[in-house]
Amino acid sequence: MSDKLIIVESPAKANTIKKFLGGRTKVVASMGHIRDLPKSKLGVNIENNFEPEYINIRGKGDLIKSLKKDAKSAKQVYLATDPDREGEAIAWHLAHILDIPEDSKSRVTFNEITKTAVQKAMKEPRKIDINLVNAQQARRVLDRIVGYKISPLLWKKVRKGLSAGRVQSVAVKLIVDRENEIENFVPEEYWNIIAKLIDNKSQKSFEAKLVGKDNKKIEIHNKEEVDEILKHIKRAKFIVKDVKKGERKRNPAPPFTTSTMQQEASRKLNFSLRKTMSVAQTLYEGVKIPEKGTVGLITYMRTDSTRISEEARRVAKEVVESTYGSEYYENRYYKTKADAQDAHEAIRPTYIDIEPEQIKDSLTNDQYKLYRLIYNRFLASQMKSAIFDTLAVTIDANTYNFKANGQSVKFKGFMILYVEGTDEKEAEIGQIPMLEVNQELKKEKIESKQSFTEPPPRYTEASLVKALEEKEIGRPSTYSPTITTIITRNYIEKDGKQLVPTELGKVVNKLLIENFPDIINVEFTAKIENEFDEIAEGKENWKEMISEFYGPFEKELEKVEKDLEHVELHEEVSDIPCEKCGRMMVIKYGRYGKFLACPGYPECKNTKPYIETIDEPCPKCGGKVQIRRTKTRKKFYICENNPEKCDYISWTKPKKENK
């Protein structure tokens, strides 16, 4: 018989906290959720005020028996599941199954798995926070209603097995909308004129860009305008008109939140969101380190707060000052967004004295990379700003104005350790010589460069997370499963790092926006998210919130079902006859994209692969060029006569001028 039984979600977490608790304490794992809505039916009693019909998860019968036995033989049971809404709900389900009274102080939470945090939490058990549980129930029930009510329409009109999710559908819409922007984008021509100039004193050369005429900004749109300007400055003297010296500061980025960690791991480590969260989970739950045992290396990895504890600040100060010197340290506080759930700290190392290099041999390569990223980001967040000396120079050539900008590092500050990545390419600013007003510069050469405006870039996992967060769609814990789901369902595919909608994704998106505009409306989804927050704070009743949503949704659903009853989605007819019955085959969408099927189904069940072709003929033999894909879904172009008569194959699309 044990005095205390502590239930956590995972065996790794159980092993880590066992060593902090002496005496007759037993720590076991629930292996995540033990109760959930059934998969075989809606599982929500609409008539009975949206009461969820939870069942024990299949396959967990023996585990539940074991937990009941352990709970019966313990004097006190503590529920130490993760410190968020999902963890609170797991604790609530455990309490139900183990007959733990609702007013029992059985809930313990800790933001980091350290001896201090765990022992402190055990001294301060509390009741289960029913508001947090209800916020999780509201999300689960609402998403179940949306998914289980809309999905059958997709089965009828597109194909069986498809599903619609509230947040996933909005994410797909963002990606499809971006693709449409790219496809409809009309590039505009523009030109830059760059003068390469030499300072006679230092003999250093630098570049200046044409920005205006008579101190008014100008834009150059074609070659004729370029030639006209070049004619006017051909023999002009380049005279320095203004020199501005300045100083620029660059501040460090805040410690990681879930979304910023996901974005940075994608940019710098090339990790998918799923991989980032999986690796972070192992660092949080504990890694075996020689002479220290199993150690939880980071704080809880699902947070949108940038707050850090005073103790963490104190240790960061010691590490920065001892490693880099006191001139590099600055005690910084970061403002957390107004709508953030500030229950947890930012993601940071739990033991700041454990440097990544010290434990490299105890970690997998992925664990080491992510731990080093989290460690360096945190330390850098408590360091001085980088300082740059800047120089902005205006140069006149007749009536035309050129500008040159330069900078040099005066003090590296936090940049000695860590620099945040970006999704956009940063313009490089080099050094230029110290110049004087009225100084004449030697002209080395003048170049003109033709460019075209570019469409917005496709989303990557990192930039999509940033967009979802900015638009307040979902929460940190939902980004990874959301993006993983839409890729798994083949609504989206990855082309390198870019997210591209599939034909199936476009078809499903079109059907949803035409028939359920509110469900995949960005503002509506953000509003729902804020209502979940209100429920978590006890300001709103979760069943009333679901009821307010369901009334209009039910009417919309009835209307759509009626409207679509006699409507068949238009199937594109190909120019390929079925070799079995002669009917013209139609284009359908399957798990792996388009395929050809005989419209005579079920009498004729003939199907065949769909081969896409482009308008441009083969540059070698004039035959049709087909689009094929590698196993990793990367496109390439191949002649229909390859390999029998023509060997044309290319990663790039052939153009007319190649003929």
Is 54 part of the annotated catalytic residue set? no
- Count H helices and E strands in the chain, helices first: 16, 26
- The catalytic position among 54, 300, 368, 371 is 300
- Give the Cα separation of 235 and 232 in Å (integer): 8
The residues, ordered by sequence, that sit 6+ positions from 222 with a Cβ below 8 Å of its Cβ are 189, 191
Specify the long-range contacts of residues 50-57, CB closer than 8 Å, at least 24 apart.
50/141, 50/543, 50/546, 50/547, 50/550, 52/137, 52/140, 52/141, 54/93, 56/97, 57/33
**In degrees rounded to 5, what are phi and psi of residue 608?**
-155, 160
Are 429 and 472 within 8 A, CB to CB? no
Going from the C-alpha of 62 to that of each of 14, 66, 91, the distances in angstroms are 19, 6, 19
Per DSSP, 657 falls in state G
Are 490 and 508 within 8 A, CB to CB? no
What does the chain come to in residues? 659
Are 412 and 386 within 8 A, CB to CB? yes
* Token pair belonging to 355: 């440097």
Are 609 and 588 within 8 A, CB to CB? no
CB atoms within 10 A of CB 119: 14
**In degrees rounded to 5, what are phi and psi of residue 213?**
-140, 130
**In degrees rounded to 5, what are phi and psi of residue 47?**
-70, -30
Going from the C-alpha of 131 to that of each of 128, 142, 301, 328, 508, the distances in angstroms are 9, 16, 22, 44, 35
Burial class (CB in 10 A: 0-12, 13-18, 19+), 279: buried
**Helical H runs in 388-494?**
461-470, 476-488
* CA angle at 649 for the pair 643 and 652, rounded to the nearest 5°: 165
Q: Which of 45, 510, 551, 15 is nearest to 289 (CA)?
A: 15
State how far Cα 75 lies from the chain centre: 45
Largest separation between any pair of C-alpha atoms in the chain: 97
Are 159 and 588 within 8 A, CB to CB? yes
Residue whose structure tokens are 């999986």: 278
Which residues are annotated as catalytic?
300
